[in-house]
Amino acid sequence: MSRTPILAGNWKMHYTVAESVAFVKELEPAIAGYDAVERVVCPTFVALASVAEALRGSAVKVGAQDVHWEAKGAYTSEIAAGMLVGLADYAIIGHSECRKYLGDTDERVNLKIKAALGAGLKPIFAVGETKDEYEAKHTADVVTRQVTVGLGGVSAEQMASLVIAYEPVWAIGTGLNADSQYANTTIGLIRQTVRGLYGDGVADALRIQYGGSVKPDNMAEYMAQPEIDGALVGGASLKVPDFLALVAAAAQVKG
Ligand code: PGA
């Protein structure tokens, strides 16, 4: 089964509204020709509307970096999934920084995934083990639990709109990118978990990205792995030439 590779840039807390718009105006024409790769930029919430406007008519998609699990209510500072409709196609959910700094648990991630799907957003559902879990060789248990709890109550039909990002926490922003075979093996295990939950059709169609210190010089190596369907990229997505190089590598190897 061939799966369309997906490259998503997670800008985290970088770039003002004006900087985000200037960035996509430069990026869009540079990556416009690479239709074999799905391309997504995930700016901060405040830049979503302006970035969506700047990308109107482009194949480059927009993603939010989180959603709240409730549709509305007394949740000062939060953003409901429904508020993102028309501004974003995707929403990153369960990023390790949200788990670490904002208190996201597997159960909360599950509620957020269901809220996003309910609003018509496509979740980029992030999972991955911490350094301690990695060193204790608990990766398989951790990602299996995260995937199983995170997908609770998600239907097979909804799975067609969902992407999983396997991001070992120790590899994020550290320059210590995971060995590509290790990433491939873990992603294969995640796919097996999904196979157990939903069967072959869903598992074989599901796109699973690798994330964690992906750079232009290691992108091709990840893309050469059969289980890896793209990348969720932080630091290297903040420079137009690097973003372009990532897309070009994905197109060359998997396009
Ligand atoms: P990084 O971040 O590419 O800077 O390691 C990846 C991520 O947090 O999604």
Rounded to whole angstroms, the maximal C-alpha distance in the chain is 48
Task: Among 101, 214, 215, say which to mutate for ligand 1: greatest number of ligand atoms within 8 Å of CB.
Answer: 214
Ligand 1 centre and the CA of 214: distance in Å? 7
**CA nearest neighbour of 237 among 56, 48, 59, 15:** 15
Ligand 1 centre and the CA of 36: distance in Å? 23
Q: Is the pLDDT of residue 1 over 80?
A: no
Please identify, by atom number, the ligand 1 atom nearest to the C-alpha of residue 235.
4
User: What is the average per-residue pLDDT within 7-28?
Assistant: 98
Please identify, by atom number, the ligand 1 atom nearest to the C-alpha of residue 232.
9
User: What is the average per-residue pLDDT within 119-139?
Assistant: 98
Residue 6: band (very low, low, confident or very high) from pLDDT cuts 50, 70, 90: very high
Check residue 153 and give its pLDDT. 98
Residue 255: band (very low, low, confident or very high) from pLDDT cuts 50, 70, 90: confident
Q: Is the pLDDT of residue 162 over 70?
A: yes
What is the Cα–Cα distance from 109 to 106, expressed in whole angstroms? 5
Whether residue 94 has its Cβ less than 6 Å from ligand 1: no
Tokens of 40: 């997504």
Whether residue 177 has its Cβ less than 6 Å from ligand 1: no
Q: Is the pLDDT of residue 208 over 90?
A: yes
Residue-averaged pLDDT of the chain: 97
Q: Is the pLDDT of residue 130 over 80?
A: yes
Alpha-helix runs per DSSP H in the chain: 17-31, 48-54, 96-101, 106-118, 131-135, 139-150, 180-198, 200-205, 216-223, 240-254
**Residue 157 DSSP label:** T
Q: Is the pLDDT of residue 168 over 90?
A: yes
What is the Cα–Cα distance from 245 to 220, expressed in whole angstroms? 10
User: What is the average per-residue pLDDT within 135-156?
Assistant: 98
Please identify, by atom number, the ligand 1 atom nearest to the C-alpha of residue 237.
3
**Residue 105 DSSP label:** -
User: What is the average per-residue pLDDT within 104-113?
Assistant: 98
Residue 205: band (very low, low, confident or very high) from pLDDT cuts 50, 70, 90: very high
Please identify, by atom number, the ligand 1 atom nearest to the C-alpha of residue 12.
8
**CA nearest neighbour of 161 among 122, 111, 207, 190:** 122
Residue 98 half-sphere exposure toward CB, CA atoms < 13 A: 24
User: What is the average per-residue pLDDT within 196-211?
Assistant: 98
Ligand 1 centre and the CA of 124: distance in Å? 13
User: What is the average per-residue pLDDT within 50-74?
Assistant: 98
Whether residue 212 has its Cβ less than 6 Å from ligand 1: yes
Classify burial at 49, counting beta carbons within 10 Å of its beta carbon; exposed 0-12, middle 13-18, buried 19 or more.
middle
Ligand 1 centre and the CA of 121: distance in Å? 21
Residue bearing the CA closest to ligand 1, atom 1: 234
What is the Cα–Cα distance from 176 to 143, expressed in whole angstroms? 19
What is the Cα–Cα distance from 229 to 207, expressed in whole angstroms? 6
The answer to whether domain 6-254 has CATH 1.20.1440.230 is: no
- Residues annotated as part of the active site: 95, 167
Ligand 1 centre and the CA of 246: distance in Å? 13
Residue 195: band (very low, low, confident or very high) from pLDDT cuts 50, 70, 90: very high
